[in-house]
Amino acid sequence: MPIKKRGTGLTAVADAWQLADIDVTASYPIRPYTAVMAEVSKRIANGQMKCEMVHGEGEHAQFSIAHGASMAGARATTGTSGVGVTYAFETFSPIAGGRCPIQALIGDRTLDPPGDFGSEHTDVLTMRDNGWIYGWAQDAQESLDNSLMYFRIGEDPEIMLPQVVAMDGYFVTHISQDYVMPDQEQVDKFLPKFKPQFRLDVNNPVIMGPQIEPEMGPPLEWDRNVVMDKVKALIPKVTAEFEKVFGRKYAPFVEEYMTDDADMVFVISGAHAVPCRSAIQYLRKAGYKVGMCRLRWIRPFPDTALQEILPKFKVVGVIDTNTSYGAAGGGGVLLVETRASLSETKNKPIIQGFTSGLGGETITHEDFFKMADMMKQTMEAGKIIQSSTWVNFNDYDKAALEVKAAWEQSAPSTK
């Protein structure tokens, strides 16, 4: 029978791993993800979980341990945060390229410098070109649910890809929330046992991860590209089946909030969507017809979904809680991806970027109000005023009025 609990996103993922009956997990401490391993260790000691925990001497070792366990046929997990992600970087492509569907929990954290330990999406986004599938959970319940859905998708015989259950450090990893731990029978119905077609076996020898000739590389890379399209096709099916089994409904790719009559929308990912919703309620009362589109997936990126959703709006404000210094348009990763997604779309909206919530800073209601005001000025001007804005650093209120005035003077007369 499902159990109502109160805990953090880390506790919720520990519940998911217990329900998934993982075989091996690899640990090494780094905040803010560490508590999930402490929780799993406690459950192993108490007899609640039967998996083997192996302690690495660092993050590179952690992911290597999980990699080897997966090659041997184990359902394996690990996790890290911040600079731990970059320390393990060498292992990411071999794990994905070897089609080893391990699952990593990453409680995101600012990279050094400034080394302030706060939540920021940059660390996980460094993994985006290595063949892992992932998105951000906005709360504890979604952390648990994403873990189960990611196992199901990543371990599908046609997919076999590693996954990241990403969550905002401290906001989701450490703040206690109410969530429901599902029944074991429900999970067993939804998630089959992990039975890979190929694994390391002395009685049935296979070669995994060998060096190859140059001409063998492009077909392998093509296959890695094709499998991401298969993931896109599988996500709606698994999301729908999850709803049938557990009764919780998620949008497959993009969650819409108060968008039916909106002229403007925020595009956002992760836990900052929570204050975004309440800010939108205030903005609506103030006369701003604004809504929100929350990205549930980053890899594969939901380009098709955005092509269907965003053209109905006049202005789209993409909020990046990450840095990509020197990127096109001066914003972060999400701005570049969103603009690329709509580059060939007819009647596309004006897309502008905002960088906010770095270093663990909360994106406050006041920040959302500022962004909405700048989006409104863009809508009134009918063109981009500033491609990307770092909120509270180069806000363009005065510039918006000047550009609008100049545009009105140069516009053809309607008299």
Q: Tell whether 263 and 238 lie within a shared domain.
A: no
Prediction pTM value: 0.94
- pLDDT for the residue 337: 98
Q: Tell whether 170 and 276 lie within a shared domain.
A: no
Q: Could you tell me the two tokens for 188?
A: 């067993």
The answer to whether 147 touches 25, Cβ cutoff 8 Å, is no
Tens of pLDDT along the chain (415 residues) come to 999 999 999 999 999 999 999 999 999 999 999 999 999 999 999 999 999 999 999 999 999 999 999 999 999 999 999 999 999 999 999 999 999 999 999 999 999 988 788 999 999 999 999 999 999 999 999 999 999 999 999 999 999 999 999 999 999 999 999 999 999 999 999 999 999 988 988 888 888 887 889 999 999 999 999 999 999 999 999 999 999 999 999 999 999 999 999 999 999 999 999 999 999 999 999 999 999 999 999 999 999 999 999 999 999 999 999 999 999 999 999 999 999 999 999 999 999 999 999 999 999 999 999 999 999 999 999 999 999 999 999 887 654 455 445 556 665 655 5
3-state secondary structure of 125: helix
Final residue before a domain boundary, out of 219, 246, 273: 246
- pLDDT for the residue 398: 55
Closest alpha carbon to 8 in 151, 135, 187, 178:
178
The answer to whether 375 touches 338, Cβ cutoff 8 Å, is no
Q: Tell whether 229 and 267 lie within a shared domain.
A: no
Q: Tell whether 71 and 188 lie within a shared domain.
A: yes
Look at residue 22 and tell me if it is in a domain: yes
Q: Tell whether 403 and 273 lie within a shared domain.
A: yes
Q: Tell whether 332 and 302 lie within a shared domain.
A: yes
Final residue before a domain boundary, out of 190, 215, 246: 246
How far apart (Å, rounded) are the C-alpha atoms in residues 341 and 306?
7
Q: Tell whether 34 and 151 lie within a shared domain.
A: yes
* Residue position matching structure tokens 């940059």: 122
Look at residue 415 and tell me if it is in a domain: no
Report residue 40 CA to chain centroid gap.
Answer: 23
Q: Tell whether 175 and 278 lie within a shared domain.
A: no
Domain encompassing residue 338:
254-410
Note if the bond before 32 is cis, omega within 30 degrees: yes
Q: End-to-end alpha-carbon separation of the chain, Å?
A: 71
Q: Tell whether 25 and 96 lie within a shared domain.
A: yes
Q: Taking the CA of residue 142 as centre, how many other CA atoms within 13 Å lie in the half-sphere pointing to its CB?
A: 24
Look at residue 56 and tell me if it is in a domain: yes
Sequence-distant (≥ 6) Cβ neighbours of residue 234 within 8 angstroms: 153, 156, 158, 159
Q: Tell whether 163 and 311 lie within a shared domain.
A: no
Final residue before a domain boundary, out of 246, 278, 300: 246
- pLDDT for the residue 411: 59
- pLDDT for the residue 403: 45
Q: Which helix (H) or strand (E) holds 166?
A: strand 163-168
Q: Tell whether 224 and 108 lie within a shared domain.
A: yes
- pLDDT for the residue 307: 98
Q: How many domains does the chain have?
A: 2
Q: Tell whether 239 and 277 lie within a shared domain.
A: no
